[in-house]
Amino acid sequence: MTTVAVIGLGIMGGPMAANLLTAGLDVVGYNRTREKVDQLVERGGRGADDVADAVRDADIVLTMLPDSPDVEGVVLGEGGVLDSAKAGTLLVDASTIRPDVSVRLAEAARARGMRAVDAPVSGGEAGAVEGTLSIMVGGEPADVEAARPVLEAVGSTVVHVGPAGSGQTVKAANQLIVAGTIELVAEALVFLEAHGVDTEAAIKVLAGGLAGNRILDRKAAGMTAREFTPGFRVDLHHKDLGIVTSAAREAGVAIPVGALVAQLMGSLRAQGHGSLDHSALLLLVEQLSGRRGG
């Protein structure tokens, strides 16, 4: 039986680990908050006291962590993955981090006789729970194929998009599109409400036409109810848009709309809404419109 160590059992990593268990894999998990480890054990997994304990006998290590420094610490730090895993272990980083960091991690893994792919995901908490994540994978073809059984246990769309770092580049584009779409849906909803339109009916007809999108399908109902329980926090999308704007600048690519949305997301966060779902951009649109929110 393949043993998978999952490092990071939060909103995304916890459900992903549960789906790996459902697929019949041996799953050992570690999280800084012990409660999350205990929840995995209750589902039939095994718990670890630290990173070294989790990865020591693993065939595959799956990391799902908030930011580049977190992944670097877990992988490169003392007692981390490269210090503690056996030769030949495959590192699958599902976090959303800078592409250049993914390239550096892959090089470091290769130097230690291990393999690494970057495999960031899209689909939010719902996709993680349902096992329907879209996964964009960067790395050597053979390593991607070795990771595929694990990735297909947590996602319904798994696509190899290029060498190391490519997965993160595609994820950056994904986050650009998602943020821009949320902002436009937020503006449309506030616009509709200001005119007294039946927003539920409007959402139904908009979703059936060319304006249809996954944000309308998954987020619009919560937005109209002002229910912003996080499936993906503003804090994290703010971080991701920083990755996008930096990478675009390095490539000499203009993203004027994306840059504006990055500023709006940053403003929302600065107002104390970082722990809300990213669909809370609606609050900022209301505030700018002199209505509620803010």
Nearest to 68 by CA among 151, 165, 143, 158: 165
Residue of 36, 86, 171, 204 with catalytic role: 171
Q: How far apart are CA 207 and CA 201, in angstroms?
A: 10
Give the sign of the dihedral formed by CA 168, CA 169, CA 170, CA 176: positive
Helix 99-111 with 68-76: angle, nearest 10 deg: 10
Token reading at 224: 């109209």
The C-alpha angle with vertex 65 and arms to 170 and 100, in degrees rounded to 5, equals 45
- In the residue annotation, 171 being an active-site residue is answered as yes
Measured from the Cβ of residue 116, the count of other Cβ atoms closer than 10 Å reads 31
Q: Say how far apart CA 138 and CA 274 lie, in whole Å.
A: 29
Single out the residue of 77, 25, 69, 74 nearest to residue 54, CA to CA: 74
- State the angle between helix axes of 234-251 and 166-194 in degrees (0 to 180), rounded to the nearest 10: 120
User: How many alpha carbons lie under 13 Å from residue 11 in its C-beta half-sphere?
Assistant: 17
Q: Can you name the residues that pair with 133 across neighbouring β-strands?
A: 155
The closest of 26, 110, 36 to 75, measured between CA atoms, is: 110
Calculate the alpha carbon distances from 147 to 69, 117, 196, 253 in Å: 23, 8, 51, 32
Closest CA to 28 of 113, 1, 132, 12: 1
Query: Mind telling me the catalytic residues?
Result: 171
